[in-house]
């Protein structure tokens, strides 16, 4: 993999040139200027990279993607497998992922309704990255547990 879209070698400033960059909320018309040297990614709020990062680095999105990476799932199946998610958040998350082109939603015109969710090719490219995160978590589980215990012990005294 390469370093993304960075091209100009010399410039590293990017403190906070201005606001510009669009609103921080989710609804935002793409195509607005927001491109700057991302090599020094101090990533201002509302910028595309931050928007996407906020989506991908979201607990629900991550879990949904990881599950869909195994196989196509229906709404209720996802609801059951993503333990703890509310129906609303599952809907919202899936819609966002669909909008981002990471998940394809297929409605079968049958009764009772049947809707399948699956990763798009783009979404599938997240596999390695997400899996790496999950693997890291599993591998370092005990170390973190220890660190927490130590911290709490220190705090309590």
Partner DNA sequence: CGGGATCCCGCCTGATACTG
Partner DNA sequence: CAGTATCAGGCGGGATCCCG
Which positions from 20 through 79 interact with DNA, judged by CB under 7 A?
Answer: 25-26, 60, 74-77, 79
72 in helix, strand or coil? Answer: coil
| Alpha-helix runs per DSSP H in the chain | 48-56, 59-68, 75-81, 87-99, 121-124, 127-139, 141-156
Does 107 interact with DNA (rule: CB under 7 A)?
A: yes
> Residue 70 and residue 74: Cα distance in Å, rounded?
13
74 in helix, strand or coil? Answer: strand
Query: Considering CB distances under 5 to 8 angstroms, the limit depending on partner class, which of DNA, a copy of itself, none binds residue 157?
Result: none
| 83 versus 111: smaller Cβ distance to a copy of itself | 83
115 bridge partner residues: 107
Among 100, 116, 118, 124, binds a copy of itself (CB under 8 A): 100
Give the residues lining the site for DNA (CB under 7 A): 1-3, 8, 10-13, 25-26, 60, 74-77, 79, 84-89, 91-92, 94-95, 105, 107, 112-115
């Amino acid at each position: 993999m390469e370093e993304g879209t960075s091209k100009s070698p010399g410039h590293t400033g990017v403190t906070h040139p201005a606001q510009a960059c669009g609103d921080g909320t989710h609804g935002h018309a793409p195509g607005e200027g927001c491109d700057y040297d991302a090599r020094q990614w101090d990533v201002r709020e509302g910028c595309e990279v931050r928007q996407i990062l906020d989506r991908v680095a979201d607990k629900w999105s991550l879990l949904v993607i990881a599950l869909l990476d195994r196989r196509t799932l229906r709404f209720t199946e996802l609801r059951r497998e993503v333990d703890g998610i509310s129906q609303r958040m599952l809907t919202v998350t899936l819609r966002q992922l669909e909008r981002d082109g990471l998940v394809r939603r297929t409605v079968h015109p049958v009764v009772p309704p049947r809707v399948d969710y699956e990763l798009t090719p783009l979404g599938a490219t997240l596999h390695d990255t997400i899996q790496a995160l999950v693997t890291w978590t599993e591998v370092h589980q005990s170390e973190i547990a220890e660190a927490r215990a130590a911290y709490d012990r220190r705090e309590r005294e």
